A and B are shown apart, each in its own frame.
Chain A
Amino acid sequence: MLTIANLSITFTQYDQGLRRKQLAVITDLDLSVQAGELVAVVGASGSGKSLLAHALLGILPENAQLSGTMAFQGQPLTPERCEELRGKAIALVPQSVGYLDPLMTVGRQVQRVGQLNGLPAGPAKTLMKRTFNRYDLPAQTPRRYPFQLSGGMARRVLVSTAVVTQADLVIADEPTPGLHPDVVTETLNHLRELAQAGRGVILITHDIDAALQVADRVAVFYAGTTVEIAAAQDFGTGNLRHPYTQALWRSLPQNEFVAVPGNQPSPENLPPGCLFSDRCPQVTADCRQARPDHRLVRQGWVRCIHAEG
């Protein structure tokens, strides 16, 4: 349904006076999503997770240049097509109620999404009520304003905004941080249901634990590049291919709780070779020569010259 290959995004910034500099915020990003599949995108802040969502929705700032390919249902995704599809075929589950209109009741907002998708007011209202009902929201919820919702209710309203669109691709950007485990599980199950209904779902998160609870596949981003795409079960079975993914898994508190020192390289001075080379325990001279190409190793996708089958 969605194929992204070698996507790069560069921002042009003014440095001093009229001198311009190029910031490569995303380099060689790859991702694919099938209908009925939930793909998690995990990585640290600054790894390009949210920029990917912005690119798919066509809401990157004007100083951004894209290269590489993005295709949705077989057709290339141009900025014009993104604008046409967003909120209809491609929908976003926002991060918090901060994305809702604070001065409009949540019922009217969700109904309005239905109307923007071509439904007349009456059926849109019925659909909104049916959706709220399905998520066990109390009968008076449509008349509530965003600030009157508890954390768990807010999550269900935000998922509803995507459900009423009939979108084929749903993107959920960091839907879980700081929530109680019960609410996290509930939110993740709602996303899982969307995939079971035949939609493609992208779950953007920094929480590997949450991702593994519901994802079919996990794409790991580092410094704006995809370093590995693994099946969710590869994590528990130790079948990981990239040193960064292995380090991320080891650093969980329920595992070894050890960290790799250092930081992601800044977009202003990316290393010429592998982007993880300055922190990688397995680094060799070859790693510093050129960006590693992606390869298929043990049924997984990896960008590392040392991964072995």
Chain B
Amino acid sequence: MRALAIALLAAGVFFHAVAAVGVLRLPDFYTRLHAVGKAETLGVVLVLMAVALWAGPGLTAVKVLAVAAFLFLANPTATHALGRAAFRLGVRPWQREVG
């Protein structure tokens, strides 16, 4: 159980690092939304599953999994709302220069 929790924790931190690299390096706002909406959500769910495993069966683990379920729904919803608002305000998607 302890080894499984540490493996989940390492995988979650890895996906958080992927999201951070994406937010730093990707060329425009919409591609950065992609990094936060997918990679960070997966990282959060993995880390919270590790914490719930560590807590053991009980009310605390159920609450941690409830937080994980909420963030699993809320994080993509927030990034989608931001992307829609940016598109309606006319932020241009990145395009490779033709040449």
Partners in one complex: no
